[in-house]
Every structure is written in structure tokens, then in C-alpha cells.
Amino acid sequence: MHSVDPSPIQHLMREMGIDEASVEYRKRIVGIEARDLERIGAVRELVVQNAERLTSSFFDYLAGLEEGRALSGDRVVLARARELKREHLVAMVQGNYGLEYARQRLELALLYNRVGLDLRVFLAAFHHLLERAGEILTRHSGLAPLEGFETFMSLKKVAFFDIGLIVDAIVFERERLIRQQQSAIRELSTPVLQIRDRMLLLPIIGVIDTARARLVTESLLRAIRDNRAKVVVMDITGVATIDSRVANHLIQTVTAARLMGASVIVTGLSAEVAQSLVALGIDLTKLNTVGDLQGGIEEAERSLGYQVLQRERPAIARGE
């Protein structure tokens, strides 16, 4: 139920670019060398014997903190996390920190992320665990103080290698949520409305950046085809600021619509904005602008109605 099946982890690893080479690189960054593997090998038995105790120290510490309840409150998740953490401790002293080891760390990271475990709290608990491990090494390994210290530092390199993976994975997952939300917001704020047969209204509200401009243009072009639109009223009353970049985006949108055979009427360009655009030297004479939205819709209606009347009347040049 709460076990993380392998596919999302494989997927995450691919997305994060975690492969043999990048794992090797991570090991190099924290400085794990052959010497470290030897030292860790010497205390392997001791750590494995104490794995249960160390695991408890981690979760007891979490349980003692308000923010740690996210994990300790759910029994099923907690049991799985304990199991993984115990495996982690055993794996930590096996000297084999390859792709499979990284995969196990990410599995635990995904679990932490799912319950929304606070990163600070995770780091504190992990540090607490290391402290206990240090104590055990000093007291029971039988190593001389300097040797014991060096062995502990070797273990700490592995611990930092682990932390790097776990923190990266949690941050990546949280950013994914932000990325999804951003695109959802963009999607929502770009409506293209059909208000008459063959006539679209495109109200643009908020900030226009390159990504948003692209989305607006794409959805407008698709709507032109789907609705067989001939006229588009693009209202920019709600655009926060219009500088040369934004103006360029708008001109591109209009040009693309025209390429598809639809004419665009731009409304809602305030006097101040118009003046500042002129001062910036931006040429908007290519745009067909009408003062307000109502005027724009009326003009669009005229242009559509005019085509119906034209069979009986002589051609009248349109004001484009």
C-alpha cells in the first residue's frame, strides 16, 4: 500500500539525471576514496549489530519534535520508513555506493516527501543518528582515538553523499509541484472566447512574459482554426505593464493571427501606455487599435456584418 513501487523511482532518476556517471561524480565531490572504504569495512560488523538501535535513535528524535509527527503519526508509513532506514544503515557500511544504493536513498526521499517531512527536521534527526554512531564507534570499536575519529569521518562522507541525494530529490519533487502549478495558472489565465459567429475575444490580464505570450498565441491560433474565426478582439486593458518586449510579443501574436487569415482589433491601450510606446520608438501603426473593448467589439461586428451586405452594395474600403 505504502511501499513505493520501482517505476516512479526509475522515472525520478531519469528526470534528475542520476546515472552511473553522476553517482560517481557525487562520490568524488564528497571525497569517498579507497581508504574510506577500508576504514568503514573495519567497523561494518559493529554498525550492523547496532543498526536497530541507530534506527530507533533517528525516529525517536523525530517523534520528539512537532514537525517530525508528519512521519511518526502514520503507522504504515513509519513502519516502511523504519525498514528502509535500517536497510540504509546496513548498506552504508557495505562499501558499495553505486546506482542501486542511490536508488534506495531516493526511495526513502520520496517517502519523506510524500508525508511532507520538514527538511530541517530530517537533517537534525540524521545528525542525531550520526552522533549516536560516533559514540558507538568511540566506545565499542576498540580503535585508537585518532583511528576512531578517521573512521567516523569516512562514515560521515557517506552520510553527506546520502544527504546530497535525499535533499536533491526532495527539492526536485517540490519544484515539480511549483512547475505544475505555474503551468496550470497560465492555462487558466488565457481564455479565448467566442462571442459571435467567427469572432473571438482574447482578454489578456496580468504579466506577459515569453512563456505566457507563447501560450496566448498558441491557444489563439488554435481557436482561430477551430472556430473559423475572421475577427479577433484582443483586449489588453488588464496587462500590467507594456514595454518594448511585451509590445513585441503582442505584435507577434497579431501577425500570426493575420497569417491565418484573421484580422485583429486591439483594445484597451491607455493614453499613457500609447504615449510611452511612442516615446520608446515602438511602431504600433501595424496594429488596428480601438479605444475600448465595446468599441472594438462593435467594429468587429461591423466588419463581419459588412461582408454579408456586400453582395447588394458597392465595395467600401475597410479601415485597416
Partner 1 sequence: MAHQPSSVPIERELDIVTARQKGRELAARLGFSSTDQTLLATAISELARNIVAYAGSGRIELSQVEEPGRRGIEIVALDAGPGIADVELALKDGYSTGNSLGVGLPGARRLMDDFELRSKLGVGTTVTAKKWLR
Partner 2 sequence: MAVPILKQGEFLIASIQAALSDHDLVDLRDELAGRIGRFRARGVVIDVTALDVLDSFGTRTLRGIAHTARLRGAKCVVVGIQPEVAFAMVQLGLSLDGVPTALDLEEGLFLLGARGGDGASAV
The stretch near partner 1 (CB under 8 A) out of 11-19, 40-48, 71-79, 133-141 is: 11-19
Q: Which is nearer to partner 1, 173 or 235 (CB)?
A: 173
228 binds, among partner 1, partner 2, none (CB under 5 to 8 A by kind): partner 2
Which of 2, 4, 22, 141 lies at the binding interface for partner 1 (CB under 8 A)?
A: 22
From the CB of 38, what's the least distance to partner 1, in Å?
31
Which of 8, 15, 139, 255 lies at the binding interface for partner 1 (CB under 8 A)?
A: 15
By the rule CB under 8 A, 218 interacts with partner 1: yes
From the CB of 230, what's the least distance to partner 2, in Å?
8
The residue count for binding partner 1 (CB under 8 A) is 9
Q: Which is nearer to partner 2, 3 or 310 (CB)?
A: 310
Which of 3, 6, 8, 14 lies at the binding interface for partner 1 (CB under 8 A)?
A: 14
By the rule CB under 8 A, 219 interacts with partner 1: no
Tell me how far apart the alpha carbons of residues 169 and 37 are, in angstroms, rounded to a whole number. Answer: 25
The stretch near partner 1 (CB under 8 A) out of 15-23, 81-89, 105-113, 268-276 is: 15-23
Query: Listing from the earlier edge strand, what are the strands of the sheet with 288-290?
Result: 193-196, 199-206, 231-239, 263-267, 288-290
By the rule CB under 8 A, 226 interacts with partner 1: no
Binding site for partner 2 (CB under 8 A): 214, 217-218, 221-222, 224-225, 228, 230, 252-253, 255-263, 303, 307, 310-311, 315, 317-318, 320
From the CB of 15, what's the least distance to partner 1, in Å?
6
x-or-dash string of contact with partner 1, 154-183, rule CB under 8 A? ------------------x-----------
Task: Name the nearest CA neighbour of 166 among 114, 121, 130, 112.
Answer: 112
From the CB of 259, what's the least distance to partner 1, in Å?
13
Q: Which is nearer to partner 1, 8 or 291 (CB)?
A: 8
Q: Which is nearer to partner 2, 10 or 310 (CB)?
A: 310
Which of 16, 48, 65, 119 lies at the binding interface for partner 1 (CB under 8 A)?
A: 16
Q: For residue 133, what are the contacts with CB-CB under 8 A and spacing of at least 6?
A: 47, 50, 54, 152, 155
Q: Which residues bind partner 1 (CB under 8 A)?
A: 14-19, 22, 172, 218
